[in-house]
């Protein structure tokens, strides 16, 4: 596990992350990209804990996602199931676990102010924090993808699964997008990455 995790997170975070994984008996699975989520946590039927994280994330987003999911596990252990998934219990746990990693040996100095702001009141997804999401994207390998908010109104885009959508108006936080083949309307996070095809 130690050799594998070194490929996905900053080197200065490896030892502490391995200790958290071992202490909490986590089965970590690194999986192919999922558009709807960067990672997830679930308690398995046999009682073991499984965290999955997408393989395509840069090392900083991977670390944030892994700790986000670890916070779900620890919140579940401490408070049980009868809480909101991203309620105050999770937020406090996420902040506590993340704090030792918020240092320049782990994250680039230009990310530190954005991380400090984000972790004052962490959201359900770092992607919903537009400034942090854009800053993290700078560490992704070059690609030809665009964010939904960059697609012009009425512009078409394709998801990784080949489905084609037409971008509509912005609701409060998300964009209404029409799936061209079915006419169904879906809501997309402004920072979802897609392939612009117009």
Does 83 share its domain with 29?
A: yes
Helix axes 59-79, 14-23, angle to 10 degrees: 30
Tell me the DSSP string of 66-87: HHHHHHHHHHHHHH-SSS-TTS
- Bigger pLDDT: 125 vs 146: 146
Q: How many domains does the chain have?
A: 2
Contact 55, 31 (CB under 8 A): yes
**Same domain for 45 and 26:** yes
Q: Which of 137, 158, 180 is the last residue of a domain?
A: 137
Query: Is the same domain home to 59 and 109?
Result: yes
CATH, residue 79: 3.30.2010
Question: In this structure, are 190 and 105 located in the same domain?
Answer: no
Contact status, residue 136 vs residue 130, Cβ threshold 8 Å: no
- Residue length, the chain? 198
Averaged pLDDT for residues 58-87: 93
Same domain for 125 and 31: yes
> What's the domain range around 191?
146-196
Q: Clarify whether residues 118 and 161 are in a common domain.
A: no
pTM above 0.75, yes or no: yes
Whether the predicted pLDDT of 44 surpasses 90: no
pLDDT, tens digit (0-9, with 9 covering 90-100), for 129-182: 878 988 998 898 887 888 888 899 999 999 878 899 999 999 988 899 999 999
Beta-sheet strand order (sheet of 26-31): 26-31, 49-54, 39-43
Domain boundary, last residue among 108, 137, 166: 137
- Distance of alpha carbon 67 from the chain centroid: 10
* 144, 62 contact by CB (below 8 A): no
Based on the domain organization, do 176 and 115 belong to the same domain? no
- The average pLDDT across 31-60 equals 88
Given a contact cutoff of 8 angstroms between Cβ atoms, the answer to whether 163 and 181 are in contact is yes
């Amino acid at each position: 596990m130690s050799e594998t995790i070194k490929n996905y997170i900053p080197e200065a975070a490896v030892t502490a992350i391995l200790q958290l994984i071992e202490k909490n008996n986590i089965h970590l699975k690194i999986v192919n990209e999922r558009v709807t989520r960067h990672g997830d946590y679930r308690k398995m039927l046999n009682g073991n804990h499984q965290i999955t994280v997408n393989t395509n994330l840069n090392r900083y987003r991977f670390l944030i996602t892994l700790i986000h999911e670890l916070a779900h596990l620890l919140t579940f252990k401490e408070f049980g199931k009868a809480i909101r998934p991203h309620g105050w219990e999770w937020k406090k746990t996420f902040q506590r676990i993340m704090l030792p990693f918020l240092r320049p040996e782990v994250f680039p100095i230009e990310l530190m102010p954005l991380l400090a702001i984000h972790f004052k009141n962490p959201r359900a997804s770092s992607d919903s924090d537009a400034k942090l999401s854009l800053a993290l994207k700078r560490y992704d390998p070059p690609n030809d993808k665009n964010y939904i908010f960059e697609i012009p109104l009425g512009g078409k885009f394709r998801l990784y699964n080949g489905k084609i959508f037409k971008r509509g108006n912005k609701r409060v936080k998300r964009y209404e997008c029409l799936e061209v083949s079915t006419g169904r309307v879906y809501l997309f996070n402004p920072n979802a990455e897609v392939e612009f095809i117009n």
